[in-house]
Amino acid sequence: MKQTIRFYLIIFASLIVLLFLLPRLLPGGPLDFILGRGDGPTMTAAQQAKLMSYYNLDKSIWQQFLIYLRHLVQFKFGVSYLYQQPVIQLILTRLPYTLAVVGISIFFSFFIGVLLGLFVADKKETLRSKGIFIGMLTLSSLPEYLIGLLLVIPFCILLKWLPMSGAQTSFLENASIWSQIKDRLIHGILPVLALTLANVPSIFLIVRNQAREILKQPYIEFAEMKGLKHHRIIYRHVFRNILLPIFTLMMQRIAIILTGAIFVETLFSYPGIGLLLQESILSRDYPLMQGLFLIFALVILSINLLTDLYYPKLDPRIGGKNVEKI
């Protein structure tokens, strides 16, 4: 365990350096965006120099890095160039939107994927099971933003059932709490649906393949000979034996769904940290980019660390000491 934690601490230290360098490797800089992205000067040279000094951009790269480390130790992410607000305040304001969309998408992705995977694995090669399998293969080849675009056409343009962008309707502040909650839920349907449809196929395929392998095992035939009901065999023997692959897959998909939320939020102008990251990259907002990159890195590293620490406890066969005892 100590070796695993030490390994992740080394990765985290390397990421801190990388997160500082990545924004500065992008072409252009914050001043170019502030001046209108090169469309013409809007400040005098003295004003530009003063602005660079205010944001510490006139200092050497090493001095900027030391300032970045000092702020990091103090849990300060700086002030956003674009919004003129503390970065941590911006992230905390936008984070609930992303957590809601990602959390609901993860739940529905696994619920639908596991149910469909078990259903198709349990059936013979019927027309229905083949149709579901082909549909999932087709869906797995589409990225999140393309699925989102395909959803916009029928639901927003043709039928006009759902709003195309945003998280709430304008000028609805004085409405009742129930109306505001209903309005936010309606605005969240398309982002959740796009992320769910993009992630169901991979879960479905893994559950289907794992369940089919288990159904071929001798103990399944023995359970059937004992007269156990079929649904009980599926639950007690098949579902329980695929829990470990599902756990591993869930840990992996959380990180993938979180990164997919960047494209979905950008497409639907949904005000989560994914859209905030896109805005920070376009405006070359170094403090905001560094703060958001750090949040994404911490989430992904934490998920991988939890998987490495707890998976051997759930499956003792992968631990060397336990294998010898067996």
CB of 115 closer than 8 Å to CB of 242: no
What single string gives the DSSP state of each residue in 93-136?
HHHHHHHHHHHHHHHHHHHHHHHHHHHHHHS-S-HHHHHHHHHH
pLDDT confidence of residue 28: 82
pLDDT confidence of residue 65: 93
Structure tokens at 1: 């365990």
Q: pTM score, two decimals?
A: 0.84
Mapping DSSP onto H, E and C, the string for 215-282 reads HCCHHHHHHHHCCCCHHHHHHHHHHHHCHHHHHHHHHHHHHHHHHHHHHHHHHCCCCCHHHHHHHHHH
CA distance linking residue 90 with residue 323, whole number of Å: 49
CB of 203 closer than 8 Å to CB of 253: yes
CB of 308 closer than 8 Å to CB of 252: no
CB of 321 closer than 8 Å to CB of 313: no
CA distance linking residue 21 with residue 294, whole number of Å: 12
CB of 260 closer than 8 Å to CB of 202: no
pLDDT confidence of residue 249: 81
CA distance linking residue 216 with residue 241, whole number of Å: 13
pLDDT confidence of residue 308: 80
pLDDT confidence of residue 108: 95
Mapping DSSP onto H, E and C, the string for 25-57 reads HCCCCHHHHHCCCCCCCCCCHHHHHHHHHHCCC
**CATH 1.10.3720.10 is the classification of domain 90-282:** yes
Domain boundaries, the chain: 90-282
Give the pLDDT of the chain (326 residues) as one tens digit per residue: 778 888 888 999 999 999 999 998 988 888 887 776 555 456 778 888 888 888 888 888 999 999 999 988 888 888 898 898 999 999 999 999 999 999 999 999 999 999 999 888 876 677 888 899 999 999 999 988 899 999 999 999 998 999 988 888 887 777 788 888 899 999 999 999 999 999 999 999 989 988 888 888 888 888 878 887 777 888 777 888 888 888 888 887 888 888 889 999 999 999 999 999 999 999 899 999 999 999 999 988 888 888 887 777 766 665 544 433 33
Structure tokens at 111: 């619920």
pLDDT confidence of residue 306: 83
pLDDT confidence of residue 318: 58
